[in-house]
């Protein structure tokens, strides 16, 4: 198998991982990434195939699962009930129960509320230079998720703090300090949600927690631990990806002088798909082999991991001509920004709606919006998102 070395925390890679992906893709369907000590797929065909290959999965095979130190238990006790980390039959049961509460009708019905929120956030922006990342891009998804769960808007900063600490466990910069912060956040988040679930059991409301409590599939309901983990997952996964996608999208739109008509109600959907293709918020998704198997001429044994490079697949020239060019008018083709197959992101419809509404409102209200300085990406890999987004409203 061809081999490549590249630190995922190296400054040049953090700012632009795509040249490395191009080199990897040209070397073959699977390439060994030395720094991760695992094979990687970078081509669109290979990534799509492996996302759907049921011989691979997210759940660690029991005999190869590492021992978890007691100090990390608060974090991994939550992960143990996450449908993102499970395979059938548990994954099937959890996902179907969640989808009974997280319906497309419920999500679509939030559009007016999201639009009102976006206008309020634009109204609150100062006249001079502002960092749009915390002032707008972060606020939209965290407040929307809080409202979906039935949590007061005033809790948004605390939810955000817990979420950021926990999500850092998936980043290449992970160290002991990150682990300690994530475990503290997991314990606090879990305690808060346990109390909130108990309250909703006694006092139901029209919110997602109440609907999750009521959801039933073949006589089964979510346990309290599953409920808590599902709510945490919806916040962490939904907030993190949407914030980065929105920040990356604003950067791309301003960098390339995108015409305002590309954000009109009849074109914004295609523009958002190009944003997700061009600079997706999640760059890598890993899977475990469940059998000894042959992948593209290379042998994997049970328990081996393989990395699927979503950001690389979305820039495969075999699918998208001139893939490094940002083109909101590009004909829409399916991309893997939200994954595919069994673990396709359950929150993708909400994330797309938030992006479409938030970007349309922002550029409609602030047609003179411009960058105050070139934005830089943060050291977040496997994620790809900005550290700040300095703009002048204009």
**Rounded distance between C-alpha atoms, residue 187 and residue 189, angstroms:** 6
The reply to whether the predicted model has a pTM over 0.85 is: yes
What are 6-37's pLDDT values in tens digits?
A: 999 999 999 999 999 999 999 999 999 999 99
56-70, 229-243, 297-311, range with the lowest pLDDT:
229-243
* Mean pLDDT, all residues of the chain: 94
In Å, what is the CA distance from 235 to each residue of 61, 159, 208?
Answer: 27, 8, 12
- Please tell me the predicted confidence (pLDDT) of residue 217: 63
Instruction: Name the burial class of residue 77, with classes exposed (0-12), middle (13-18) and buried (19+) by CB atoms within 10 angstroms of its CB.
Output: middle
Quick check: bond before 272 cis, omega within 30? no
The answer to whether residues 165 and 188 touch, using CB atoms and an 8 Å cutoff, is no
**Rounded distance between C-alpha atoms, residue 242 and residue 137, angstroms:** 8
Nearest to residue 85, comparing CAs of 384, 288, 304, 308?
288
- Please tell me the predicted confidence (pLDDT) of residue 298: 95
The answer to whether residues 366 and 122 touch, using CB atoms and an 8 Å cutoff, is yes
- Please tell me the predicted confidence (pLDDT) of residue 113: 96
Which domains does the chain possess? 3-392 (1.10.630.10)
**Rounded distance between C-alpha atoms, residue 226 and residue 217, angstroms:** 14
**Rounded distance between C-alpha atoms, residue 286 and residue 38, angstroms:** 10
In Å, what is the CA distance from 217 to each residue of 93, 126, 212, 259?
Answer: 7, 49, 11, 47
The answer to whether residue 45 scores a pLDDT higher than 90 is yes
**Rounded distance between C-alpha atoms, residue 39 and residue 367, angstroms:** 45
User: Residue 141 is encoded by which pair of tokens?
Assistant: 């998804």
């Amino acid at each position: 198998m061809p081999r490549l070395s590249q630190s995922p925390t190296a400054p040049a890679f953090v700012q632009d991982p795509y040249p490395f992906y191009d080199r990897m893709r040209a070397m073959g369907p699977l390439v060994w990434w030395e720094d991760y000590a695992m094979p990687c797929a970078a081509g669109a065909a290979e990534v799509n195939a492996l996302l759907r290959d049921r011989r691979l999965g997210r759940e660690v095979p029991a005999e190869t699962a590492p021992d978890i130190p007691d100090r990390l238990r608060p974090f991994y006790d939550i992960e143990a009930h996450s449908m993102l980390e499970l395979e059938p039959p548990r994954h099937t049961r959890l996902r179907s129960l969640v989808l009974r509460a997280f319906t497309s009708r419920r999500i679509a019905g939030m559009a007016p509320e999201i639009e009102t929120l976006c206008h309020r956030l634009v109204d609150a922006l100062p006249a001079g230079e502002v960092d749009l990342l915390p002032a707008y891009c972060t606020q939209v998804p965290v407040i929307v998720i809080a409202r979906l769960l039935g949590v007061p808007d005033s809790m948004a900063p605390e939810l955000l703090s817990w979420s950021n600490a926990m999500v850092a466990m998936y980043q290449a910069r992970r160290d002991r300090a990150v682990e300690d912060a994530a475990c503290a956040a997991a314990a606090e988040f879990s305690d808060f949600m346990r109390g909130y679930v108990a309250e909703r059991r006694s006092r139901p409301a029209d919110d997602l927690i109440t609907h999750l409590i009521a959801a039933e599939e073949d006589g089964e309901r979510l346990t309290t631990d599953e409920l808590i983990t599902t709510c945490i997952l919806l916040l962490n996964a939904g907030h993190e990806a949407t914030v980065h996608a929105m920040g990356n999208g604003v950067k791309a739109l301003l960098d390339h002088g995108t015409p305002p008509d590309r954000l009109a109600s009849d074109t914004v959907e295609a523009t958002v798909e190009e944003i997700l293709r061009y600079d997706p918020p999640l760059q890598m998704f890993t899977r475990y082999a469940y059998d000894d198997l042959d992948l593209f001429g290379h042998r994997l044994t049970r328990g081996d991991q393989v990395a699927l490079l979503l950001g690389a697949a979305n820039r495969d020239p075999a699918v998208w001509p001139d893939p490094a060019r940002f083109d909101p008018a590009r004909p829409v083709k399916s991309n893997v920004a939200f994954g595919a197959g069994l673990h396709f992101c359950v929150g993708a419809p909400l994330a797309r709606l938030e992006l479409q509404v938030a970007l349309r409102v922002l550029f409609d209200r602030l047609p003179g919006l411009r960058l105050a300085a070139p934005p830089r990406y943060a050291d977040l890999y496997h994620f790809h998102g900005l550290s700040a987004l300095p703009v002048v409203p204009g």
